[in-house]
Structure 1
Amino acid sequence: MTTRPYGARRPLTLHTRPQHPARAVRCPHCHANPGQPCTTRTGHRLPAPHPARLSAHAQATACCPACQVAPGTPCHDHGRPRPTVHARRYQEADDAARLKAQEDTR
C-alpha cells in the first residue's frame, strides 16, 4: 500500500467516472446540454440520466429492431407513434456505445 501525505489529493483514476453515453444528447426533460448531467428542478445533479434522455439517445443512435426504423426516426406501433422507443432499441444503443468505447480504448 502506498502512503500519501495527509490531505494529499487522490489520483485522478480514482475519482473520474466515464460519462453515460446518453449525455451526448440534450435532455428533453430537464434541458441539460450535451455533456452535462441531468438535474432536478432545484438544480441538484442526478447520478443517472432521465428516462427521456435515454430514449432520445437510443432514438438518435440506434436502428430499432422491433419496428425497423433508422436512427433519428421515432419508433411506432403499426403506424401509431410511441412516446418512447422499444426496449430492444435501448439494447441496440447500449451495444453500439459499448463497441465505440472499446474501439476508443484501442
Structure 2
Amino acid sequence: MTARQPGAPMPPALRALIHSTTTHPARTIACPHCHAPAGRPCTLRTTSRHLPEPHPQRVSNWAQAAACPECQVEPKTPCHDAGRPLRYVHDRRTTEAKETAA
C-alpha cells in the first residue's frame, strides 16, 4: 500500500476569499450566548467546538441595528408582537440587515 501524498497548501489569498464569503455578518459583534468575541465564531460550551453559524441571539442582537419592516420599530429597539416584546427579531428584520450588510 502506498502512502498518500499531501496536497499543496492553500494560498493565503484563497483562504481569505473563502473565509470572507462564508463568514456571517453577525460575527462583527460579540455573542451573548457563548461569549465569543467579535470576529470569532460561536462555540459549543461543553466541547469548545466552533459552530458554522452564529447563535440565534447573536444574530438577533446584530439585526437590531436595522429598523424592522414587520413591527416598524427603530434601530436598536427590540421587536414586539402586539405590544409584547419578542425574544428574537422578526425574520424580515434579519433579512433586511443581511441585505444592508452586503
TM-score, structure 1 normalization: 0.78
What letter is aligned with 1:67? C
Residue aligning to 2:93:
89
> For each residue in 1:11-55, what CA deviation from the matched residue of structure 2 results, as whole angstroms up to 9, or x when unmatched?
123222113210011112111111111001121111211111111
1:73 aligns with 2:80: no
- The CA deviation at 1:9 is 3.0
Structure 1 unpaired stretches of 5+: 1-5, 99-106
Alignment coverage as a number of residue pairs: 92
Larger displacement relative to structure 2 (80-89 or 44-53) = 44-53
- The CA deviation at 1:8 is 4.9
- The CA deviation at 1:83 is 0.8
Residue aligning to 2:50:
45
- The CA deviation at 1:76 is 0.6
RMSD over aligned CA atoms reads 1.6
Identity of aligned residues (%): 55
- The CA deviation at 1:7 is 6.5
Q: Counterparts of 1:95-106 in structure 2 under 5 Å?
A: 95-98=99-102
Structure 2 unpaired stretches of 5+: 1-5
Q: Distance in 1 between matches of 2:76 and 2:96?
A: 14
Q: Distance in 1 between matches of 2:71 and 2:7?
A: 56
> For each residue in 1:56-75, what CA deviation from the matched residue of structure 2 results, as whole angstroms up to 9, or x when unmatched?
1111x210001111111100
Q: Distance in 2 between matches of 1:88 and 1:9?
A: 41
TM-score, structure 2 normalization: 0.81
